[in-house]
Structure 1
């Protein structure tokens, strides 16, 4: 078995018990070879050492010494402690009896002894001032304070059958430090010659406290101390305590190993969840980046559209401003024209008013002339009626015209028309209508009369650039 490779992975101090138990089981199963020959032994955990062969005694001393060395690695100490245990328990027949074997760590000097567990010390020959029942609590505190350098947890005063306080029990911590304090407590009394051996002497002095660590003989005694120790403790050897501590440590280590395994499983689950969450987060980050890019593109497009719209609106506003300015100039020009026209209109209005007044005066004159004309016409009609029988020839008509020449132009025209009509009526023959046309006889066709050019209308000037038609005069 290659032990050099196994030493590469060292163990911690808290795992010494577990590794010792594991190595001890391997030694018992003879997976690791220790005995070479009848009386020759080798340390399987020191293959490179110059001295290879040991007697059983020397190998036990070697294993115990290495296991108790404080400067050795935890794994080396664990393997050598397991080897020492194997030599003492399983190969006890091969060992040479010797009381001076090297002790393991925390083992008190001498042979294996049984101590009261938890560690307890005994005080005897209490002073008189500490024996009063009324001051038990105070007395216990005084004793605890007196031995405070040994770190006692509790001091209990015991009473015998005569109600005398001759004993006190000092309780220490339930660990190796408690044992160290208990042994120091006992050593203190031994140095001063106030130990258990001195107390058991016949001629011992009884002038001060005596003390020692409680062992099997105290545990089994019939004194009040024995009753108290049997009631509140039990006998255990150092090896038993070591093995019990190792078993507890093994249980704790197993428990912690299970917890570590569970934690590792939970850690693996957390790692898996972390990886899944990492992938989800990565996808979410990619989606976020895509959304950001799309958002930025949309923002850029919106900004571009906004710039275009703003430019278009600005251009339209400029065009509208130019149009408004042009219209404003046009309106100003029209206003000036209107003002000019209004000024000229005021001047023309005056002229128009003057012209209207002039026309009104002329209209009045014309009305007067019309009245005079009307009177002249009436006068002419009376004249025609008066001289009707006498107007039978053109000479008379001409004479009438000459007479009427003294009248105004309009009166002369009207008079001429009336005279012509009157003369035409006088020239009608029987069987003619008022126009001088023969009235047709029923059943007899009448030929159309020949046109007489002499009957054409006679154009008579009126004196106003006008002309009038004179009806034909019968001859």
Structure 2
């Protein structure tokens, strides 16, 4: 007869997960521990056996049952002698890719301890080599408590037909006859609560009624999954252990007392009783093999659907990448053209400013010359006035002449002072005029540039439209009666209308693509941030992880200090030096970079003439210098304004920024590994 194992719910879930993982190309994990030879394995088994023999671990319990001291996490702790021996032998002799070496060694030692030291202590009702039916539960405990969800494996026939969803049948329920001759009994919920307290976990209990009232029979419904089957079989075995199973109910005996129960199968389903009629309404007959095949088909369909969805998403992503590259190239071309126009504009402004400065300087020079001439004339007049004063006493005529000359000199002096004031006002007006002229030229130049940009775009479209209109006029002048000419005219008019609408359509398409590209980029950036947050605790040995960009490597500092100081002092001095350079790295005023041309592009590189870096390299060596410059380059690339450490998704094997796909693969591998470990436990 073909047999199968009925596992708890969590093990079946893991089994289905690993079926999907195998279809997607995953591999079975290898053992964590390994031993080089059989001799080492035997020695380890002997040591574990000595620990058991010394009483370090308790195997036999007070009530005569046994427990596995190496499987404390399992819910099932009470075993019969034969079950525990079978468990220990199975784990100890399992293949190397299913159990760790430590688990195999401890369970082999447990099997040896059971065979050599505890075989004689098994009572007559529990022989070590014979199979024994479960004993009834003591009076203080519920009768035959079922195995919990994580109980050891039980067996049943793959091809045995069960009623699905899993149904149990309970008969001989206590009923009473009422005054009107009908029968009444307890509610289904009360019986269900009693079964739940015993660990069978039914979902519902339905008493069956006929024309005479309560029939004394009820159906017990369980969950549809494998845990439900496990609970149903435990329910059946518990009543069989109390000799209240199906065979006991149908056995010929004078008196039957108490409730009899079993799991509904094909004979119950096809029976002509009220039970069979109810089972045919609510369920179907299915074997476990059929259910497993149906689950396998569902899993295959799920994997196929997921694969097709992934392929569609990948194609869509490739299309978006192509569109992004095209848009990026167009933007780069526009930016290059903008830079060229900006450079031309700056050169023109510099020329205008230079000519304005030269013109203003010439005006100022002329004003200085005039001012110096006026000063010389004023001094000359003052000298002549002094001479006239000296000659005043000579004669009256000369005195009169002198008075007249003095008056004339006074008038001329006042005129000269007024001329000087007028000259100063003229100078101020010239300066204001120069500034106004400069400002007006700048505004005019900016307006010219804007008009030129608009004019270029407008002229391109107007030229195309004028060309079409010219062609249209030529066709019109060629003749009005020529049918071919008329058709050409209509075609040109149609093309003209299309050209006029083409510009608007292209502009709308470009805006749509830009919006989509930005949206996709935002989504990718959010996903990347989530990956970085989830991978922060990843082991440093992983291929892809999170790197702190701009973080200073302390190992070169420690190695350099060890060459000068003792071990303890070297660590302290290395930490002090690292802290000092961390502060230097965070200082935004320190920017030891220079701009150079690399492959036709301006690029910032480390300035090897920086005083701090030169002193560091001279004093500490090339390794420390390289660690500091590497951190500088990373900070300048990822966070030049904030000057603080930035986490980044990093391919540690290739030393580059990791892609989003590589990060997702790491998350999937971690998930698969954890699932395999849970399945192994």
Could you state the TM-score of these two structures normalised by the residue count of structure 2?
A: 0.31
Could you state the TM-score of these two structures normalised by the residue count of structure 1?
A: 0.42
